[in-house]
Structure 1
Amino acid sequence: MPYQIVIVDDTQVNLILFDALVKRLGDAQSAVFSDAQEGLRWAQEHPFDLLIVDYMMPELDGIEFIRLLRARPGREDIPILMITANDQKQVRYQALEVGATDFLTKPIDKTEFLARARNLLQLGDHRRKLADRAQWLAEEVQKATGEIVARERETVFRLSKAAEYRDPETGGHILRMAHYSELIARELGCSTQEQEVLRDAAPMHDIGKVGIADHILLKPGRLTPEEFEVMQHHAAIGYEILSHSASRVLQLGAEIALSHHEKYDGSGYPKRLHGEDIPLFGRIVAVADVFDALTSERPYKKAWPLDTATQFLRNGSGKHFDPRCVDAFFAGWDTVMTIRERFQDQA
Structure 2
Amino acid sequence: MGQSSSNTAGNEELMPETPEIMDVHDGRILIVDDNPVNTALMEKILRHEGYTQIDVTCKPVKVVEMYRLDPYDLVLLDVHMPTMNGLQVLAKLREAFPDDYLPVVMLTADHSDETRNQCLSAGAKDFIGKPFDRTEVALRVRNIMESRLLHKELKIQNEELEERVHERTQQLYEAQSKVIECLGKAAEYRDNETGMHVIRMSQSCALLAQELGLDDEQCELILRASPMHDIGKIAIPDDVLLKPGILNTQEWETMKTHSEVGAEILSGYDTELMQTAAEIARTHHERWDGKGYPDGLKGEEIPLYTRIVSVCDVFDALTSERPYKKAWSVKEAMDYLNAHSGTQFDPMVVEAFVRVLDKVVSLRYRFPDLTVMH
Does 74-83 or 111-120 show the bigger shift? 74-83
For the residue of structure 2 that corresponds to 1:171, the secondary structure is coil
Relative distance call for 1:22 and 1:159 in structure 2 (3 A) is: same
1:259-338 equivalent positions in 2, closer than 5 A: 259-333=283-357, 335-336=359-360
> In the alignment, which of 337, 343, 346 is matched to residue 367 of structure 2?
343
Opposite residue 259 of structure 1, the aligned amino acid is T
Q: Which amino acid aligns with 2:187?
A: A
Is residue 154 of structure 2 the alignment partner of residue 130 of structure 1?
A: yes
Which amino acid counterpart does residue 340 of structure 2 have in structure 1?
G
Q: Secondary structure at the match of 2:96?
A: coil
Contact 1:169–1:298 under 8 Å retained in 2: no
- Partners of 1:69 and 1:75 within 8 A in 2: no
SS in 2 for 1:261: coil
Instruction: Tell me which residue corresponds to 2:182.
Output: 158
C-alpha distance in 2, partners of 1:340/1:243? 31
- The answer as to 2:235 corresponding to 1:235 is no
What are the within-5 Å matches in structure 2 for residues 31-180 of structure 1? Answer: 31-73=55-97, 76-168=100-192, 170-180=194-204
**2:229 is aligned with 1:196:** no
Shift of 1:345: 2.9
Counterpart secondary structure, 1:71 = helix
The answer to which of 286-295 and 74-83 deviates more is 74-83
* Displacement of 1:136: 1.4
Are 1:20 and 2:44 an aligned pair?
Answer: yes
Scaled by the length of structure 1, what TM-score is found?
A: 0.89
Q: Gaps (5+ residues) in structure 2? A: 1-24
**Residues in 1 aligned to 2:320 and 2:307: alpha-carbon distance in whole angstroms:** 20
Instruction: Kindly provide the amino acid, as one letter, of the partner of residue 181 in structure 1.
Output: C
Question: How far is 1:338 from its partner?
Answer: 5.6
Instruction: Give SS of 2:83's match.
Output: coil
Give, in angstroms, the shift of residue 329 of structure 1: 3.5
CA positional deviation for 1:53: 0.9
CA shift, 1:189, in A, is 4.1
- Provide closer, same or farther for how the CA distance between residues 39 and 250 of structure 1 changes in structure 2, counting only shifts above 3 A: closer
Deviation of the 1:330 alpha carbon: 4.3
Q: Give the aligned partner of residue 249 of structure 1.
A: 273
Amino acid at match of 1:198: I
Change (3 A) 1:151 1:38: closer
Aligned residue identity for 2:29:
I
Shifted more, 188-197 versus 148-157: the winner is 188-197
CA contact (8 A) 1:167 1:209 kept: no
SS of 1:82's equivalent in the other structure is: strand
Deviations 1:65-85 (A, max 9, x none): 112112224872141111123
- Alignment deviations for residues 12-54 of structure 1 (CA, whole Å, 9 cap, x no partner): 2112112212322324222211111123322233332211111
Shift in alpha-carbon separation, 1:75–1:228, aligned structure 2, 3 A: closer
- Determine the C-alpha separation between the residues in 2 that align with 1:311 and 1:73: 58
Distance in 2 between residues matched to 1:39 and 1:250, nearest whole Å: 51
- 1:144-183 deviations in Å (ceiling 9; x for gaps): 2222222222322232222134222642211121222233
Equivalent position amino acid for 2:182 in 1: R
Aligned in 2, Cα 1:330/1:23: closer, same or farther, shift over 3 Å?
farther
Deviations 1:63-122 (A, max 9, x none): 121121122248721411111234343233233233222211222212111221122222
Q: 1:331 to 1:12 in 2, by over 3 A?
A: farther
Check 1:95–1:120 CA distance in 2 against 1; reply closer, same or farther (3 A cut). same
Aligned length: 347
How far is 1:276 from its partner? 1.1
Amino acid at match of 2:320: S
- Does the C-alpha gap of structure 1 residues 71 and 293 become closer, same or farther in structure 2, counting only changes over 3 Å? same
- Between the aligned residues of both structures, percent identity stands at 41
Query: Structure 1 residues 305-314 or 57-66, which shifts more?
Result: 305-314
Unaligned 5+ segments in structure 1 are none
Does structure 1 retain, via aligned residues, the 8 Å contact 2:64–2:96?
no
Do 1:291 and 1:309's aligned partners in 2 also have CA atoms closer than 8 Å? yes
- In the TM superposition, what are the counterparts of 1:201-220 in structure 2 within 5 Å? 201-220=225-244
Distance (Å, rounded) in 2 between the aligned partners of 1:246 and 1:59: 58
TM-score (norm: length of structure 2): 0.83
Letter in 2 for 1:130: L
